[in-house]
Structure 1
Amino acid sequence: MKHILLIELNSATNKLFYQLTAQGYCVHHVNNAFDALIKMETLTLDAILLDFAVPKMDSFWLLVARKAPTPVIVIADANNELERINALELGADDYLSHPVNVRELQLRLNVLKRRSQPPLNDTFCEQISFDDTDYTVHLVDKSLVLTQTEYRLFKYLFEHKGKVVTKAELQQRVLHKELGRFDRNLDMHISNTRRKLAQGNLPRELINTVRGQGYSFSF
């Protein structure tokens, strides 16, 4: 269940409170700064909704926006442009106008969640490690045992991720010899490495062929 902290004066007659509850959210309602800070310290929240109608000090809202690891969305007056600008200046991630459309709120929360997540490529890269002693590559929760040459090829491509490495460069840097016109030794090692990736239920496309150019490490 998703937990939302709703900071506003009166939830008893608040349509938003009941709409969110009906959508399966667990809504924690507070109407003052002290209780809001306690909830922020003790709960794992998916979002904080701040109603600008609540009596406040700007310094408090700034503290909330900066302290909270979750998205902060201000509910502002649709006819008060200055209020909306002030909300963003104080550090809010987004704002909505009264009356709040729950569907729009959900969409905005999804956008903010995607922005806060690290890119998939970066996340995947952080979970790849190399063991030079036994030529093993650890990918997430799997291990890939390679020959010395396959290991060095894979590691070289990984270290140059984001660029295309030519066959000539790989042949010289990894195999330590010039690339001959009819030399297929490099292609054989690449093919064997891909086969081992597939056997280990890993994507063989991690080593991507760039036609007419060479190879690249691909996510």
Structure 2
Amino acid sequence: MHVLLVEDDSVIADGICKHLKAQGMAIDVVSNGMDAFVALQRSEISLMVLDIGLPGIDGFEVVRRLRSQGNLLPVLLLTARDSIQDRVHGLELGADDYLVKPFAIPELVARIKALVRRSVPEIITLQLAGLHLDQTSKRARVNGQTVELSVREWAVLEYMMQQVSRVVSKQQIIDAILPWGEDITLNAVEVYVSRIRSKIADAGVTIRTIRGFGYMLERVE
């Protein structure tokens, strides 16, 4: 799960970030609405946690622009405003949920998980030929045999399984598996792909290198 947090209070942002990471979530943090739109273009985000009282364009305007573009990304609003009118306004603009400060972190986590569950069809297992990925247990199997993968190898393979028969660039892989602001090199992606290839060699699938473009996971014919 990849969360974009838009919060200009650094103390609140740091606290939320720490707890969401402890839940195994990837999280990007920006402090204003314009940077939020930049982050949404650079990373594959599952949900946005959005403060209303932002400098420049406020959270209401961010939601309005997002929905006017046809973007259905789940949005959870955070605000110190607790009036019914503000809540209704945010929801009418297209926000999916609303949480008033101060709030309990467990409630925030529960609401995030609930919104993502509602927005994404639940897929427990990804399968291609003899390769199976169990997204609940984070286990990979080749012809029924468990394959040991590192955390990043799993993330790369899971992303490629979601993009079967599509060409994905190294940068797309990086953007999909890492929070914005963290970094791995393009060469590191090559290493992960090489390791994955050797581990799934007997599954009847292959990761094909498309020179100058990236990689494509496909069934071996």
Name the larger-Rg structure.
1
**TM-score interval, normalised by the smaller of the two chains:** 0.3 to 0.5
The normalised TM-score by structure 1 is 0.47
The normalised TM-score by structure 2 is 0.47
